[in-house]
Structure 1
Amino acid sequence: MKTIPTYRPMRRAFIALAALSVPLLLASCATPASPSLDAAIAAPYRGDKAQARDVYRHPKETLEFFGLAPTQSVLEIAPGSGWYTDILGPYLRDRGTLYEAQYVPPQAALSDGEIKGNASFELKLATTPAVYGTVIVGTLRSGQFSGLPQGLQVDRVLTFRNIHNWIEDGQIDANFRAFYTVLKPGGVLGVEEHRATPGTSLQQMIDTGYVTEAYVIEHAKSAGFRLAGSSEINSNPHDTKDYAHGVWSLPPTYRGGAVDRERLAAIGESDRMTLRFVKP
């Protein structure tokens, strides 16, 4: 009688291979990891209006200059509607941590528009955790943080186009000291700000929104920071800095309305300093 061979060893091998494939399949179906910086910047949820500003704000080059990494803890100051948050949140979602501190002027209550804007910003973060992860939002007032973890220490403090407001409110020194305290030793304070012509008076800075680099550097150093680098990433040689409504004449604000709008649009956004400070 002819013996029919059996294939049980092959069947066992198939079962073992199938069992091995299960975790691989599950892994492939898991939630995607945080996007790369390029992918976060290009993500469709940012919207065309926000991404149209990339040509002026150079988010990739700016964040790389500040030494951003996906495993860091980052505190963004005065995020506004969240133009940079929409990049930082997804980028840090899985391996890092993002904190936000909304700025509250010390001498006056927020306007209804500011209150609604802050609430809208917080709602966006809270209702889309798949995009932003868990973002902790607090406040900064009179150089003091509230709503953030006690004794918080972060790798990066970042702020974009806010310093002129703190000068007007008399809060620049208190805020710089707060940033110094919350940063780890070796941590970086990244600053982007509208840049005034050297020699511009303090009152002109307040009136126009343009601040001299020397003024920012002086006050950062007074808080204990060391200037570690400056960049021309966000410079704009076409910005003449002599407009009726200061920096707010330029896009995207256009405070002058339709007056001279075509010329101002051709100039683009403001000439800006980009500075990297280190806590020794």
Structure 2
Amino acid sequence: MRILPVFAAALMIGTGAPTAGIAQAQDATPGREIMAAVGAPTRLPENMARDQYRHPAETLAFFGVKPTDTVVEIWPGGGWYTEILAPYLAGKGTLYIAAASEKGQAAVKAKQAASPELYRTVKYAIFPEGAGPKVPAGTADAVLTFRNVHNWRFGESDKTQAAFDQMFAMLKPGGTLGVEEHRLPEGQAGVEEGKSGYMKQSTVVAYATRAGFKLVAESGVNANPKDTHDYPKGVWTLPPTYQEGDTDRARYAAIGESDRMTLKFVKPK
């Protein structure tokens, strides 16, 4: 799949003009190693079925993740991306699983127990707060966070800036922060950021910029123009969650997963 230029992505999904001063995203062709990891036989079939919405090979190629990198995956949840990153980095790289607690690491540890060779370079850390090991400062080549920013925003307390500050600290100078997040159009009213699961791109960029990051590229690879962003139970109305149950399920299935921003930041050297 071709990574869309930033201006074409903005026009296609109607979110307004592209971010000022950001160059067009370059075409990114996933390498052999990424394609092998995406096709790993250890991936769950139900996870592979969602590749049509999440475009993992193209997304990782856009972020520029290399198989020799030290990569931090933030809040992996059930380990959807971990199933790809672990075998991709198993040869010469390192993968840190940074979860909110040891409970948040459980799904990945179960996968590691089932496939120890593919998960042999996986390490664990606590993020952003709490007791436990941390990712050492200045050691990561890439930090990746998939659909997590809204969780930091609408929890018991707003941990968003602290999260971006810590991700900045983890990275080596010149390292990459890759952010994929449910996108709320800049001019859309009546939808609450964070609580709806959606975030405005300008808000995400502001948090990252305050932490010290520079936005260097945007991609439309995970855009979904069918998403209207205004659902009874927020983004979780759409697949794969379907929080409305059978109500209008066919309609939401036809929309697919959410419209998402895909942003590449760097930590200046």
Q: Is the TM-score greater than 0.5?
A: yes
For the 8 Å contact 2:125–2:135, the answer to whether it is kept is no
Aligned to 2:37: 40
Aligned to 2:47: 50
The alpha carbon displacement at 1:153 in A equals 1.0
Aligned to 2:115: 128
For the 8 Å contact 2:55–2:221, the answer to whether it is kept is yes
**Alpha-carbon separation, structure 2, partners of 1:246 and 1:93:** 37
Pick one of 47, 51, 67 that aligns with 1:70. 67
1:207-246 correspondence to structure 2 within 5 Å? 207-246=195-234
Aligned to 1:85: 82
Go from structure 1 to structure 2 and tell me whether the alpha carbon gap of 1:140 and 1:187 turns closer, same or farther (over 3 Å shift).
same
For the 8 Å contact 1:164–1:210, the answer to whether it is kept is yes
Runs of at least 4 residues off by over 3 Å: 148-152, 199-203
Pick one of 240, 247, 253 that aligns with 1:259. 247
Aligned to 2:95: 98
Go from structure 1 to structure 2 and tell me whether the alpha carbon gap of 1:55 and 1:150 turns closer, same or farther (over 3 Å shift).
closer
Secondary structure class of the residue paired with 1:36: helix
Q: Does 146-155 or 180-189 show the bigger shift?
A: 146-155
For the 8 Å contact 2:73–2:98, the answer to whether it is kept is yes
**Alpha-carbon separation, structure 2, partners of 1:253 and 1:264:** 10
Identity of aligned residues (%): 49
Aligned to 1:198: 186
The alpha carbon displacement at 1:267 in A equals 0.4
Counterpart amino acid of 1:222?
R
For the 8 Å contact 2:136–2:170, the answer to whether it is kept is no
Go from structure 1 to structure 2 and tell me whether the alpha carbon gap of 1:188 and 1:135 turns closer, same or farther (over 3 Å shift).
same
For the 8 Å contact 2:127–2:134, the answer to whether it is kept is no
Go from structure 1 to structure 2 and tell me whether the alpha carbon gap of 1:95 and 1:202 turns closer, same or farther (over 3 Å shift).
farther
Residues 181-236 of structure 1: CA deviation (Å, up to 9, x unaligned): 11000000000000001045797012311100000001100000000100000000
**Alpha-carbon separation, structure 1, partners of 2:139 and 2:131:** 12
**Alpha-carbon separation, structure 1, partners of 2:152 and 2:135:** 24
1:182 corresponds to 2:191? no
**Alpha-carbon separation, structure 2, partners of 1:131 and 1:159:** 21
Larger Rg: 1
Counterpart amino acid of 1:120?
A
Pick one of 161, 171, 176 that aligns with 2:147. 161
For the 8 Å contact 2:70–2:142, the answer to whether it is kept is yes
1:59 corresponds to 2:45? no
**Alpha-carbon separation, structure 2, partners of 1:145 and 1:66:** 30
Aligned to 2:125: 138
Secondary structure class of the residue paired with 1:165: helix
Residues 69-112 of structure 1: CA deviation (Å, up to 9, x unaligned): 111100000000100000000000011111110125xxxxxxxx
The alpha carbon displacement at 1:242 in A equals 1.1
Ranges in structure 1 where 5+ consecutive residues have no aligned partner: 1-34, 105-113
**Alpha-carbon separation, structure 1, partners of 2:223 and 2:267:** 25
For the 8 Å contact 2:93–2:121, the answer to whether it is kept is no
For the 8 Å contact 1:100–1:135, the answer to whether it is kept is yes
* TM-score, scaled to structure 1: 0.79
Go from structure 1 to structure 2 and tell me whether the alpha carbon gap of 1:41 and 1:99 turns closer, same or farther (over 3 Å shift).
same
Q: Does 236-245 or 195-204 show the bigger shift?
A: 195-204
Ranges in structure 2 where 5+ consecutive residues have no aligned partner: 1-31
**Alpha-carbon separation, structure 1, partners of 2:96 and 2:190:** 31
The alpha carbon displacement at 1:276 in A equals 0.3
**Alpha-carbon separation, structure 2, partners of 1:225 and 1:149:** 18
